[in-house]
Structure 1
Amino acid sequence: MVLTVFTWRYGGREVYLYGSYNGWGDGTVMNSMNGSTMALSAAIDLPPGYHQYKFLVDGTWQVDEEQLRVIDEQGVINNLIFVEEPSVNAQRLPPEAVRGTLDLDSIRDMQLEASSSGVLPNGRILQLPEDRTDASRHRLFVHLSSFKAHDLMPNSGKALALDTEVAVKQAFHIMYEQGLPVMPLWDEQNSRISGMLTASDFILILLELHQFRALLTDEELEMHTISSWKNEKLRYQRDVAGALLPLQRRELIQVGPDDSLTDVALTILRNEISSVPVIHSPEDGSCPQLLHIACLAGILKHICRHFRHCLQYLPLLQQSICNLPVGTWTREFGWANNRTLLTLHASSSLGCALNLLIKARISSIPIVNDNGVLINIYSRSDITSLANGSVYAHIQPDQTMLSQVLEVLNESGHDRYRVCTRFAPLYTVMEVLSDPAVRRIVVIDSSTRRVEGIVTLRDVFNLILS
């Protein structure tokens, strides 16, 4: 047996070491090294040979991205260590190997003698075979198709709607107080849900009014009801070039309680919306009933709840996000799609951010410093924060810096954003995104905190339902 020291250098309240050396049985508690709050270690007697291991950090499985990684037969990524015979002066893996990820067959066939053919490519990551990827997607598709929209509904709760004759100003405050980025609209005259009021509506309202007025006031916003705004929006809307074009009226997009979760998710994706009302229409023609507002986060929570303890059947979810066509990335890591991640500085204007959100048709923008280090994030839904203290009535978007707006947002005390590294497993990202308050996760370098990409709810569903 050889006493082997394992280290975890990234902190955590409770960190346990698990490994193949004991059949992934009881974990070993890792203790701080020399009083450090970040570096922890554990020493274990191991027999010579290869051993897989990983860390349970505050309830989440993690691997050390700086050490050699391996994909096992189930498609799970683990760290790998080779323990040498004490009496044998065997060559260790070359330094170039420590950042690689290999399949087990490659490891088993690899010769330990140092030679040019034995050097592993730096950063190599083996992709999951296409048939196993398709199998994971098929299992998810079948699962979602076997559950209905009513399965997303809580045992007790309420669904709120705004009357179309409510003033925009009042609607602004209600959405802020309720913490809702979108609300259905009730048409009293026709006794039906007629549409949705979104954060994008408020962005367009501020941009439109600011175009004609130097300063917004309470009175100016109070003159506009939701119905009058919707009629105005139907006549004109900015295209990506800033011109005014006529807009075709779109019927309310909705789903029924018996629609499958697959259909609900695809309805949201195909119509480029963030949520969809679940409406029951009685056969007798009586007033339709608003039952629930379905969103991708709710469907994702359903997936995580059902597959949390059987991930071996979904190897796709155990892949690192950097190894999957998911998310939007900076040019350095832009392998997932043809889009390039857009960022802004804190000195940029609020007007610049709002225009970029609308014209680029994105939901959020990372705010970075001159070195690309993450400072904060600004999202479409953040527009409702301007209702706090009627801030919207006292600002000019083109003369207000994002740093000033972010100060208001930070006063809420809520987490402004969540982060991960590009080596995070897809399932870990899905767990984070299943929180309705979290609609995207920023990918950063663990040591420099430079922004590398962003993964949204829509990205995850485009991947698993494509």
Structure 2
Amino acid sequence: MTSRAKRIHSLVVKTFFFFVLFLKHWQASVFIRGFLISLDRDRNVYTRFMKSHRCYDLVPTSSKLVVFDTSLQVKKAFFALVSNGVRAAPLWDSNKQCFVGMLTITDFINILHRYYKSPLVQIYELEEHKIETWRGENLSTINFLPFLCRSLYDAVSSLLKNKIHRLPVVDPLTGNTLYILTHKRILKFLKLFISEMPKPSFLSQTLEELNIGTFRSIAVVHADTPLYTALGIFVEQRVSALPVVDDKGRVVDIYSKFDVINLAAEKTYNNLDVTVTKALQHRSQYFEGVLTCNRHETLEAIINRLVEAEVHRLVVVDEHDVVKGIVSLSDILQALVLTGAEEGKYSPS
């Protein structure tokens, strides 16, 4: 072989060698990009699920919806909530011919806390006022948007952004409220399909690793805390439940906003000087005990427990049952749907 032929052969070999290296690098790059895209898809699987389903997917074929006219007396409205076993009701203004807000247990708490004076003084505002008398000042303000055809992602975003627990599903054609969406119903719907979707790796991570939940300035009460004080904490700190702890900080019970409606059921709201323990004796439903978890449990385990027990939150405790935090349905939905829990973007409330 001549020297010229050798040089040509050497050049061909080098070119082929570099082409092979380039091809391998390109294939590896494509594989990595595909792998990263796959990871991104898995990471956002619940976000995509929520965006692909509409609010009407959650509307049952049959459900109870109680609607109050704003001319109704406040006391009668809360009694009606109790008798119908619901926690909230849309408000209809006959003069404006439209829905103008929601009546919730939070409103009942606000009225009691604002107007209560002593067991000897009747709460006139609760006994005599109509809803329309003080609606603009006290009642929950909710925009009745036509959410029927909107995505569940929009619904979750609205719930979390506005820090509300209920969202009316309104028919855009008739303006009628068809259903009330809640965190619990949305998470339960997601759980029905969760086994059919790719399982993101962050489901196997712990609350501590994902930094999900509230672990600072946890509002608690003691067994002898006056009920009026507990109502004040609900109003001022905007929490939905208060762990009841003993003198060592161990959780022994929990007093939630829903428990307050029992005051209307028992007609005992004129004496708010009683202790939280006394008030809890009027629970209308059997109480199985405080549902807890620890920071070392996986997100998947937490979701399963919340859905199966049909509760709104778990009390986070240590090995001695001392309260360390709260993880709520809103925390879970925020992490799953809006922020990407596995990226550590979630900031506790």
Asked whether 1:388 is paired with 2:265, we answer yes
Aligned-residue RMSD, C-alpha: 2.6
Where does 1:310-389 land on structure 2 (aligned, <5 Å)? 310=197, 313-329=199-215, 339-389=216-266
Secondary structure in structure 2 of the residue aligned to 1:293: strand
Return the alpha-carbon distance in structure 2 between the equivalents of residues 348 and 133 of structure 1: 50
Moved >6 Å (runs of 4+): 130-133
1:283-315 deviations in whole A, cap 9, x for unaligned?
xxxx411111011111111211111355x5222
Cross-structure match for 1:173: 79
Cross-structure match for 1:160: 66
Return the alpha-carbon distance in structure 1 between the equivalents of residues 158 and 45 of structure 2: 20
Asked whether 1:433 is paired with 2:306, we answer yes
Q: Which of 323, 334, 344 is 1:462 aligned to?
A: 334
Alpha carbons of 1:251 and 1:178: their partners in 2 closer, same or farther (altered >3 Å)? Answer: closer
Return the alpha-carbon distance in structure 1 between the equivalents of residues 200 and 146 of structure 2: 28
Larger RCO: 1 or 2 (CA < 8 Å, sep 6+):
2
Which one-letter code corresponds to 1:325 in the other structure? Answer: N
Q: CA deviation at 1:327?
A: 0.7
Cross-structure match for 1:224: 129
Gaps of 5+ in 2: 1-35, 340-349
Cross-structure match for 2:170: 279
Return the alpha-carbon distance in structure 1 between the equivalents of residues 119 and 43 of structure 2: 52
Q: Would you say the 8 A contact 1:349–1:401 is kept in 2?
A: yes
Secondary structure in structure 2 of the residue aligned to 1:367: strand
Which one-letter code corresponds to 1:172 in the other structure? Answer: F
Secondary structure in structure 1 of the residue aligned to 2:267: helix
Q: How high is the TM-score relative to the length of structure 1?
A: 0.60
Return the alpha-carbon distance in structure 1 between the equivalents of residues 303 and 261 of structure 2: 26
Alpha carbons of 1:361 and 1:219: their partners in 2 closer, same or farther (altered >3 Å)? Answer: closer
Alpha carbons of 1:253 and 1:318: their partners in 2 closer, same or farther (altered >3 Å)? Answer: farther
Select the structure that is richer in helix: 2
Q: CA deviation at 1:216?
A: 4.9
1:45-77 deviations in whole A, cap 9, x for unaligned?
xxxxxxxxxxxxxxxxxxxxxxxxxxxxxxxxx
Secondary structure in structure 2 of the residue aligned to 1:190: coil
The number of aligned residues is: 303
Q: CA deviation at 1:185?
A: 1.0
Select the structure that is richer in strand: 1
Return the alpha-carbon distance in structure 1 between the equivalents of residues 209 and 224 of structure 2: 34
Percent identity (aligned): 30
Structure having the higher Rg: 2
Q: Which of 153, 177, 189 is 1:290 aligned to?
A: 177
Cross-structure match for 1:400: 274
Q: CA deviation at 1:186?
A: 1.6
1:328-368 deviations in whole A, cap 9, x for unaligned?
12xxxxxxxxx332222111111111111111121111110
Q: Which of 105, 110, 115 is 1:204 aligned to?
A: 110
Return the alpha-carbon distance in structure 2 between the equivalents of residues 459 and 251 of structure 1: 21
Gaps of 5+ in 1: 1-129, 235-248, 330-338
Q: Which of 138, 161, 168 is 1:270 aligned to?
A: 161
Q: How high is the TM-score relative to the length of structure 2?
A: 0.79
Q: CA deviation at 1:217?
A: 3.4
Cross-structure match for 1:125: none
Return the alpha-carbon distance in structure 2 between the equivalents of residues 347 and 264 of structure 1: 40
